[in-house]
Structure 1
Amino acid sequence: MAGTIAKFRQEGKKVVIMHLTEAELSSNGTVENRQLEAKNACEVLGLPDPIQFQFPDRKLLEHREEAIDAIVQVIRKLRPKIVFAPNHQDRHPDHGHCGELTKEAFFSAGIKKYLSHDENEAFLPQALYFFQINGIVTPDFLIDISTTIDLKYQALACFESQFSSKEAQVKTPLNSGYIEKLKARDLLLGGEAGVTYAEGFLSERPILIHDLLGDE
Structure 2
Amino acid sequence: MNHHTVDILAFGAHADDVEIGMAGSLAKWSAEGKKIVICDLTEAELSSNGNVETRKKEAKTAADIMGAVDRVNLCLADRGLFLTDDHIRKIANVIRKYKPKVIFAPYHNDRHPDHGNCFRLVQEAFFSAGIRKFEVEGDYPPHKASYLYQYMINGFASPHFVVDTSDFIDKKVNALQSYESQFYIPDGGVQTPLTEGYIETVTARDKLFGKEVGVKYAEGFLSSKPLLLNHNLFGEGL
- TM-score relative to the length of structure 2: 0.86
Q: State the match for 2:43 in structure 1.
A: 22
Query: Is 1:156 aligned to residue 173 of structure 2?
Result: no
Q: State the match for 2:60 in structure 1.
A: 39
Q: State the match for 1:165 in structure 2.
A: 185
1:118/1:46 CA distance change after superposition, 3 Å:
closer
Shift of 1:24: 0.5
Shift of 1:166: 4.9
Q: Give the secondary structure class of the aligned counterpart of 1:16.
A: strand
* Matched residue count: 215
- TM-score relative to the length of structure 1: 0.95
Q: Once the two structures are aligned, what percentage of the paired residues are identical?
A: 50
Shift of 1:215: 4.9
Shift of 1:66: 1.5
Match of 1:179 among 192, 196, 199: 199
Q: Mean alpha-carbon deviation: is it higher for 68-77 or for 18-27? A: 68-77
Paired residue type of 1:143: V
Encode CA deviations 1:91-145: one digit per residue, 9 max, x unaligned: 2111111011000000001111111775111111110000000020000000000
Structure 2, unmatched stretches of 5+, are 1-21
Q: State the match for 2:125 in structure 1.
A: 105
Q: Give the secondary structure class of the aligned counterpart of 1:212.
A: coil
Whether the aligned pair in 2 keeps the contact of 1:165 and 1:176 (CA below 8 Å) is no
Q: State the match for 2:227 in structure 1.
A: 207
Moved over 6 A (4+): none
Whether the aligned pair in 2 keeps the contact of 1:18 and 1:52 (CA below 8 Å) is yes
Distance of 1:27 and 1:93 partners within structure 2: 16
Distance of 1:6 and 1:161 partners within structure 2: 22
Q: State the match for 2:140 in structure 1.
A: 120
Distance of 2:191 and 2:136 partners within structure 1: 47
Structure 1, unmatched stretches of 5+, are none
Shift of 1:48: 3.4
- Alignment RMSD (CA, Å): 1.5
Encode CA deviations 1:34-78: one digit per residue, 9 max, x unaligned: 0000011111112234111111110111x7222211111111111
Query: Structure 1 or 2: larger strand share?
Result: 2
